[in-house]
């Protein structure tokens, strides 16, 4: 269950000689599906990709959405967005919500015993329908001229994220609706003036996927990080070779050539 206390390393690369469960976040599984080599460098050798700038505006929108839905959670009422889209559900009122949202320290987790990998993730929200099924919800904030409106418009990484969260709740013995929802908030840039405020369009985008790929991916991940063989380069977001890997390869080659040239001058 999510509240179980497993003894795991707080940080550090995978140690094949250790018998402790190895903690893997939802984002690490997504990294592995994108590029096994980057995942190997991260989880086996402790070399992470360069971090991206913090999207503080996105974080602010997420926090405000959580507060807004928490009002309806406490009252057991339906949010106007759910009314607008005709979705018969209310925010789940459960004392574990703060724990499930805490991706850094707690989240919702499941120990995959065949691989001894503890998978965990932090969700944005959970709603519940009249049949008692939990509806997994994720907030997304951006600013585009044309935002997504259907599941076909969603990034594959968004879809995998939703499927992993659904899988985690199912593995914790919850009845989970096959359809999750993205609360997609798109900043409007067509206003006449800023005037100290930013306006947003809000869409509720349903997504019905499948978590059948997750367990095979966990087995593959364990096989890769436990091996001494470096996996091949994966693919980037655009479908070509991983940009991080190609940069490392090009930089390493250039530095080696420069090192050899400088030695010849001596």
pLDDT digits (tens, 9 = 90+) for 143-193: 776 666 677 878 889 999 999 999 999 999 999 999 999 999 887 777 776
Q: What domains sit in the chain, N to C, each tagged with a CATH number? A: 22-225 (3.90.320), 233-266 (no CATH)
Instruction: State the Rg of the chain over Cα.
Output: 21
| CA 72 centroid distance within chain | 25
pTM of the model: 0.87
pLDDT digits (tens, 9 = 90+) for 17-33: 899 999 999 999 999 99
Report the half-sphere exposure of 96 (CA within 13 A, side-chain side). 14
Query: To the nearest 10°, the Cα dihedral for 26, 31, 37, 38?
Result: -100
């Amino acid at each position: 269950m999510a509240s179980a206390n497993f003894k795991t390393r707080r940080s550090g690369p995978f140690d094949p000689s250790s018998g402790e469960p190895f903690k893997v976040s939802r984002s690490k599984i997504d990294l592995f599906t994108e590029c096994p080599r980057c995942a190997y460098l991260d989880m086996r050798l402790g070399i992470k990709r360069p971090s991206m700038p913090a999207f503080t505006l996105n974080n602010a929108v997420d926090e405000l959405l959580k507060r807004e839905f928490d009002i309806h959670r406490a009252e057991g009422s339906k949010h106007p967005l759910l009314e607008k889209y005709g979705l018969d559900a209310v925010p789940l009122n459960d004392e574990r919500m703060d724990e499930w949202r805490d991706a850094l320290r707690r989240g919702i987790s499941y120990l995959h015993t065949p691989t001894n990998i503890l998978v965990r993730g932090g969700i944005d929200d959970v709603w519940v329908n009249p049949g008692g099924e939990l509806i997994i919800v994720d907030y997304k904030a951006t600013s585009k001229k044309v935002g997504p409106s259907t599941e076909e418009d969603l990034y594959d990484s968004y879809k995998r994220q939703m499927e992993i969260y659904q899988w985690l709740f199912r593995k914790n013995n919850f009845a989970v609706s096959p359809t999750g929802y993205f609360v997609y908030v798109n900043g409007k840039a067509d206003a006449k003036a800023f005037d100290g405020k930013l306006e947003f369009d809000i869409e509720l985008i349903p997504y019905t996927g499948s978590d059948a790929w997750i367990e095979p991916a966990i087995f593959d991940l364990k096989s890769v990080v436990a091996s001494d063989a470096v996996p091949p380069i994966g693919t980037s977001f655009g479908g070509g070779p991983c940009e991080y890997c190609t940069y490392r390869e090009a930089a390493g080659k250039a530095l080696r050539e420069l090192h050899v040239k400088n030695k010849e001058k001596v």
